[in-house]
Chain A
């Protein structure tokens, strides 16, 4: 027994436990691969101060295998770093620092490469170019799972150098390298066993959501069916660069404190506290030491476990200023509006960026955006897309298919569609006849889904969309526990509100507390929940004001209509009694009606002052789109996500 005991390499462990990293099924594997690569690419570009432009190519090679190529216009990677970044697990720059960034652990992209290797036997191909003048590098890398070490396959273990200029293009051709000509950037190509699908939890959805939260990013996406889509950047500036911060004393655990004491170069406790933590001034350090009963000048070297515990306790009892929060870079209300408007069709948009706050010593910030009035994706699907979706779906019934494929479509709305299409509920989606598909498509387009629609939630952590584990996420839970009825939306107790609403919630933090390794759900700390609630309420209030006004305008319209309806009868009756010209009288009455209802438009507020209805003050962070404008937009070919108005 003892003889068989040996080290387990990290790579080996993950090879056997790939579900922990989001490679549990072929579908998920494809998404995770794209996601890790895009996240890395965005982080790299932003750190280098380059406006990111990303190419995502997915290609079906053989049955069940896909080639995923992701290229960015980032700074490129130094030659000697390339194998380590893509071929060694847990290698990265982001784990050890407290700074807001997308990736955190450094498992992602190398794990994707390893998954590809395991399932198809193909190596990861990396092409990286640092500058126009210097040679680019091309590597084909495998991971040695036993030793957690990269193995370079091409160029006799040293990769291929591609000279700059015309010569380089020839080399690229010769080696069959996929590369979109760019001054600098990195392209990673991984072939893996995967399954491509659309709808919820798909690559398409991920990229769409990424575009919303990253309005400064341009994404070119070529899907396996050859459809090309481009999300153009709506912002020309990079988000403010997040600063790296020292940990705050409140966020530290005892074990970590002991570790830090061991590693520090500071000679005294006081110096240790002031230099290793943020917001600890010498005065605060003295207070901590006094409470702990330790001398400020005590030597760090001689501090034992017991003293460390005392210091830890003292920290909790000492009042320390919250960490500075300028280390977080929010998307910003204006850009949230722009991003949402570009991707989610709607008539009303609102956004709120909360001031930064702190949970367990980690600064964080909540941003909420809301779009109202967008039709469901079910409205927008074309017949061909529908046929494909049907054939791809592994839902057992048509009802399940509808409810799981389209955003914001509850079972209630699915039932209504099926009823309208005269389709059977329990029929398998793959077995529909052409005529039945026609009927289904027609029904999906025509059924009024507003009532049956539920709120569509887009969750983000540090600008990365969270697509799974919605139920376990603090964001979803807080949305459900917020009372949306007072903002004009229908909501059953403890469930999501109904209506054509999309809410995006962004949590930015130096350290986002995820509930698990797969980084899909935010843990519910009370501080986070409170900020979430305040943010949601801020946009909810604005939605409420907008909806109320819309209702009132509608009511006014009805009022006017009512008068107009009777004017004809009155004019006719009067003319029959005294022989006046009914047409002239009707016209005159119309003028009076207009004058009268215009008067009625001026309402009095609580204090009896006239309220100017036209200047509904919703603040600055609101965007109201005139439906007519949206149609015009569409005609002009603007607005990638704009679709016809369903109102």
Chain B
């Protein structure tokens, strides 16, 4: 926290863009609120929009999850909230400094910048990064600003290959010439940073994990079928989702998802399609209601004649989660989905995409996926 002086040094102050000015205004408003309350001998507080299932609404016409109006009050003089109040103020301070200096940092970088011992104690402001991340998300909703506007970005996760040429921070990148590793999808893919130059691909195939993605890339599936191949390393980060959204909307490419047949896979699909509950405020710029669920399906063990050895028994958490997902408003009224989830529960086992590899190493790329696309056998 030696940066204290820099903020007072006008020479180091970067020129603020209009967006930065707006964010800065929000931050100062937050700080003034504390001063105001203190002067009036009141308990300083902040009302943070609630990021929970209770405060999301499924918008039937837009088919996306939207954030409700509920807020959670965080008070300084509440035993269970005092620390997170302090942490929120620290994050606000860190962001203000980043904006003033015109720099960006990763959320891990911010965690390190803010981490430290509280004066006179052995307690740390933040112990681990997972303490800091939710506070940053709180700051996003509280300040009604996107992460990029807070000059923050997450670690890159996810990769892309395909017949697409784009520019990233001024560098032209041909995604069909990315070797075996593919193009690492950055955290910020806003039009100001990334522009699409040329696209021959006809659709997007999004797979769950790197291993499956490798299989498709090695078999040059994307070349044979003229598509863009992406993965998000499990639950896709916002950069990947935003990129899919832009490709889908700007280039009119349909999105197909190949995910595991388990509650985790269902929820990945749900996040891509409707947006996430936690970050519902970003659904509008990330959710792809047109995304389709290609597989794996609970019928696949029989249909593809897989061996019993690929079954993974469901545990109690899986069952509970599956029922929870089935009851989400956006799944509730979809009969095929209800049938799908019920069948998985009846089966008593889940299937990973890798299960298909057990049949034949290239079964998934040469037979399974092409057949499903051809038959239009997917869930919506």
Contact = CB atoms under 8 A, between A and B. Distances in A.
A644 B37 CA distance: 45
B187 interface: no
B375 interface: no
B61 interface: no
A585 interface: yes
B119 A570 contact: no
Contacts of A579: 8
Interface in B78-120: 79, 82-83, 85-86, 89-90, 92-93, 96-97, 118-120
Interface string A569-607: 110111011111000010011011101110000000000
Contacts of B1: 572
A569 B35 contact: no
B27 A577 contact: yes
B171 interface: no
A458 to B, nearest CB: 42
B7 interface: yes
A525 interface: no
B79 A562 contact: yes
B118 A574 contact: no
A595 B121 CA distance: 23
A577 B93 contact: yes
A565 interface: yes
Nearest to A564: B120
A585 B38 contact: yes
Interface string A545-578: 0000000000000010011011111101110111
A163 to B, nearest CB: 79
Contact of B77 (A569, A576, A593): A593
A569 B89 contact: yes
Nearest to A580: B35
B43 A574 contact: no
Interface centre among A576, A579, A592, A596 (most CB of B within 10 A): A576
A573 B92 contact: yes
Nearest to A582: B4
B42 interface: yes
Give the interface residue-count category, chain A.
Answer: 20 to 34
Given A569-B118, A576-B93, A592-B43, A559 B4 contact: no
B48 interface: no
A589 to B, nearest CB: 5
Contacts of A559: 79
Contact of A570 (B28, B79, B89, B97): B89
A554 to B, nearest CB: 14
Given A565-B123, A566-B83, A592-B43, A574 B77 contact: no
Interface string B109-150: 000000000111101010000000000000000000000000
A588 B82 contact: no
Contacts of B120: 565, 568
Contacts of A595: 41
B34 A570 contact: yes
Given A576-B93, A576-B97, A592-B41, A562 B82 contact: yes
Interface in A513-551: none
A243 B79 CA distance: 62
A574 B82 contact: no
Nearest to B30: A577
B43 A577 contact: no
A591 B79 contact: no
Contact of B96 (A568, A569, A576): A576
Interface string B16-38: 00000000000110111011011
B76 interface: yes
Classify the secondary structure of B's interface with A: helix
A261 B136 CA distance: 98
A576 B93 CA distance: 6
Contact of A576 (B4, B44, B86, B123): B4
A563 B30 CA distance: 19
A132 B82 CA distance: 78
Contacts of B35: 574, 578, 580, 585
Contact of B86 (A569, A585, A597): A569
B60 interface: no
Nearest to A589: B38
Given A565-B118, A577-B27, A592 B123 contact: no
B121 A565 contact: yes
Nearest to B116: A569
B151 to A, nearest CB: 14
A585 B44 CA distance: 12
Given A574-B34, A577-B28, A577-B93, A592 B121 contact: no
A148 B210 CA distance: 108
B9 interface: no
B86 A566 contact: yes
B142 to A, nearest CB: 13
A497 B83 CA distance: 38
Contacts of B92: 573, 577
Given A565-B123, A596-B77, A573 B90 contact: yes
A579 B89 CA distance: 14
Contact of A563 (B7, B31, B76, B93): B76
Interface string B147-188: 000000000000000000000000000000000000000000
Contact of B89 (A563, A574, A597): A574
Contacts of B89: 569-570, 573-574
Contacts of B8: 579
Contacts of B303: none
A569 B90 contact: yes
A567 B118 CA distance: 10
B39 interface: yes
Contacts of B43: 592, 596
Given A563-B82, A595-B41, A568 B31 contact: no
B63 to A, nearest CB: 39
A330 to B, nearest CB: 47
A566 B31 contact: no
B192 to A, nearest CB: 26
A562 B83 CA distance: 9
A128 B215 CA distance: 115
Interface string B194-217: 000000000000000000000000
B123 A580 contact: no
Contacts of A578: 28, 31-32, 35
Interface string A222-258: 0000000000000000000000000000000000000
A590 to B, nearest CB: 9
Contacts of B90: 569, 573
A580 B39 CA distance: 12
B34 A592 contact: no
A80 to B, nearest CB: 80
Contact of B42 (A577, A580, A592): A592
A92 B7 CA distance: 96
Contacts of A596: 43, 77
B39 A588 contact: yes
A313 to B, nearest CB: 71
Given A566-B76, A566-B118, A574 B31 contact: yes
Contacts of B30: 577
Nearest first, the 9 A-B pairs at minimum CB distance are: A577-B31, A588-B38, A573-B93, A578-B31, A573-B89, A566-B86, A596-B77, A574-B31, A577-B96
Given A577-B30, A589-B38, 13 more contacts: A559-B79, A563-B77, A567-B76, A568-B119, A569-B86, A569-B119, A570-B44, A572-B1, A576-B4, A577-B92, A578-B35, A592-B44, A596-B77
Interface of B: 1, 4, 7-8, 27-28, 30-32, 34-35, 37-39, 41-44, 76-77, 79, 82-83, 85-86, 89-90, 92-93, 96-97, 118-121, 123, 125
27 contacts: A559-B79, A562-B79, A563-B82, A565-B121, A567-B76, A569-B118, A570-B34, A570-B85, A572-B93, A573-B31, A574-B31, A574-B35, A574-B89, A576-B4, A577-B92, A577-B96, A578-B28, A578-B31, A585-B34, A585-B35, A588-B38, A589-B38, A592-B38, A592-B43, A593-B77, A596-B43, A596-B77
